[in-house]
Amino acid sequence: MAKLNIPVYLDYSATTPVDERVAKAMADCLTLQGNFGNPASRSHVFGWKAEDAVTEARANVARLIGADPKEIVWTSGATESDNLAIKGAAHFNAKKGKHIITLKTEHKAVLDTCRQLEREGFEVTYLDPEDNGLVDITKLADAIREDTTLVSIMHVNNEIGVIQDIEAIGALTRSKKILFHVDAAQSPGKVAIDVDAMNIDLLSLCAHKVYGPKGIGALYVRRKPRVRIEAQIHGGGHERGMRSGTLPTHQIVGMGESFRIAHEEMETENAKIEKLRDRLWEGLKDMEEVYLNGDFEQRIPGNLNISFNFVEGESLMMSLKDIAVSSGSACTSDSLEPSYVLRALGRNDELAHSSLRFTLGRFSTEEEVDFTIKEVRKAVEKLRDLSPLWDMFKDGVDLDTVQWAAH
């Protein structure tokens, strides 16, 4: 029996530990004895060797998404990829039109980039998802205008794990000749990506959610038909001029190795993780007033986002000090606003405040899941005993009819 490692890590969507195999490959690219050269050095073997390693990594990343290696642009992570894709495409096409469509549940890397473009005079439509977190394709079609140049919709949502129908959206945008950007930071190794079948023009990736290192990512930029974007970082003209800067060989090798492993082990790994996730849900769902956020079917295997009504998320996390999870509670954010993702699903503020996100991954075990079930049940019970709302609910008071002294 695997031993229980405390604290238990159930926050794989925030970041993952680096796989040992990846760490080893990276470590081989640092020192004098290793592959430390500058991949851009054309005049000696150190540079050639480094370039070979980068080429191999590029091929591994491309393979996982069904792309050509030439279509991969290295960046510092998904945030930079989102910025490059959205600003780069919007600016390049500004003469054609200045309207962009995105989704209210996107990551901040997309939303804040769109806000910046609004300040520069672009117009952005932020679509509401349905209550299950998914985009209604007819609503997307209705939002398209003459001057729409870009649609940016994420593949897998980081909070609720729902998977958008990217293929259907891609068919629509292609038929309207509008560029399609997909933030796929949460997808590799969890759900298949095929940039051709899905008609994706730009796709953001990062390594640190797939057991690779932080600080490295990539942007897929389609070559046929050619997609043109304006560079955001200028310099030595690396990456076909789209992103300058000396390539970090060890980071790139780490990303390549993590994507190679993901490609090979995805199927067996997902089956294992899904079983554990279902075990966790089975262990919790019979409690009173517990709600799953986001569609259960169109969802990655490792995600469970649950609202425990009448219990506030931060205090719940405080009780779960041996378990690392994240919460949609306002009290855990600097803004004191509860999760905008859950609110966009039409969840009321109470349920948004009461939510926890459990994300399982490669190293999760049955022992960890069973321990988590036990601890969560205990904590929810304790906090409900402390909750005036639970009292009122048990007394049959309809909380919506109470006049709250809001402050």
Partner 1 sequence: MAYSDKVIDHYENPRNVGKLDADSENVGTGMVGAPACGDVMRLQIQVDDNGVIEDAKFKTYGCGSAIASSSLVTEMVKGKTLEEAAAIKNMEIVEELALPPVKIHCSVLAEDAIAAAIEDIKAKREKKAESAA
**Which stretches of the chain bind ligand PLP, using CB under 6 A?**
77-79, 107, 109, 154, 158, 183, 185-186, 206, 208, 217
Sign of the four-CA dihedral 334, 346, 300, 286 = positive
Q: Tell me the β-bridge partners of 151.
A: 101, 180
Partner whose binding site includes residue 197, from ligand PLP, partner 1, none (CB under 5 to 8 Å by kind): none
Measured in residues, the chain has a length of 407
The smaller minimum CB distance to partner 1, of residues 179 and 323, is found at 323
Q: Is the peptide bond before 129 cis (omega within 30 degrees of 0)?
A: no
Q: Which of 294, 321, 302, 326 is nearest to 379 (CA)?
A: 321
391 bridge partner residues? none
Rounded Cα distance, 302 and 306, in Å: 13
End-to-end CA distance of the chain: 51
**Closest distance to ligand PLP from the beta carbon of 86 (Å):** 12
Query: Nearest Cα to 231, choosing from 222, 221, 242?
Result: 242
CB of 243 to ligand PLP, least distance (A): 14
> Choosing among ligand PLP, partner 1, none, which partner's interface includes residue 406 (Cβ < 5 to 8 Å by kind)?
partner 1
Residue that has been written with the tokens 């190679």 in this structure: 260
Please calculate the CA angle 334-338-341 and round it to the nearest 5 degrees.
Answer: 115
Binds 348, which of ligand PLP, partner 1, none (CB < 5 to 8 A, cut-off by type)?
partner 1
Min dist. Cβ of residue 14 to partner 1 (A): 16
Task: Tell me the C-alpha distance between 152 and 50, whole Å.
Answer: 34
- Beta carbon of residue 403, minimum distance to partner 1 (angstroms, whole number): 10
Instruction: Identify whether 7 is preceded by a cis peptide bond (ω within 30 of 0).
Output: yes
Which of 201, 83, 95 shows the shortest CA–CA distance to 150? 201
The entry of ligand PLP, partner 1, none that residue 315 binds, CB within 5 to 8 Å by partner kind: partner 1
For partner 1, which is the closer residue by CB, 74 or 390?
A: 390
Identify the CA nearest to 25 among candidates 212, 220, 302.
Answer: 212
- Three-class secondary structure of residue 357 per DSSP: strand
Reply yes or no on whether 331 is catalytic.
yes
Longest CA–CA separation in the chain, Å: 80
**Shortest gap between Cβ of 402 and partner 1 (angstroms)?**
9
Given partner 1, ligand PLP, none, residue 311, with its beta carbon under 5 to 8 Å by kind, binds partner 1
304: tokens are: 């469970």
Residue with nearest beta carbon to ligand PLP: 77
206 interacts with, out of partner 1, ligand PLP, none, CB within 5 to 8 A per kind: ligand PLP
Decide whether 37 or 302 has the Cβ nearer to ligand PLP. 302
Report CA dihedral (320, 322, 327, 331) to the nearest 10 degrees. 70
Q: Which of residues 83 and 315 has its CB atom nearest to ligand PLP in the complex?
A: 83
How near is the Cβ of 210 to ligand PLP at its closest, in Å? 11
Q: At what angle do helices 249-284 and 20-27 cross, to 10 degrees?
A: 170
Closest to ligand PLP by CB, 64 vs 109, is 109
Rounded to a whole number of angstroms, the minimum distance from the CB of residue 11 to ligand PLP is 11
For ligand PLP, the closer CB: 160 or 284: 160
Which is closer to ligand PLP, CB of 315 or CB of 327? 327
Task: Pinpoint the alpha helices (H) of 249-307.
Answer: 249-284
**φ, ψ for residue 286 (rounded to 5)?**
-80, -5
Which does residue 77 touch among partner 1, ligand PLP, none (CB within 5 to 8 A, set by kind)? ligand PLP
| Closer residue to partner 1 (CB): 170 or 338 | 338
- CB proximity list for 223: less than 8 A, separation 6 or greater: 68, 70, 71
Tokens for 206, please give them: 């990062």
Give the interface with partner 1 as residue ranges (CB under 8 A). Answer: 310-312, 314-315, 318, 329-332, 334, 336, 338, 348-350, 353, 385-391, 399, 404-407
CB of 293 to partner 1, least distance (A): 16
- Residue 318's binding partner out of ligand PLP, partner 1, none, with CB under 5 to 8 Å set by partner kind: partner 1
Task: Give the active site residues.
Answer: 331
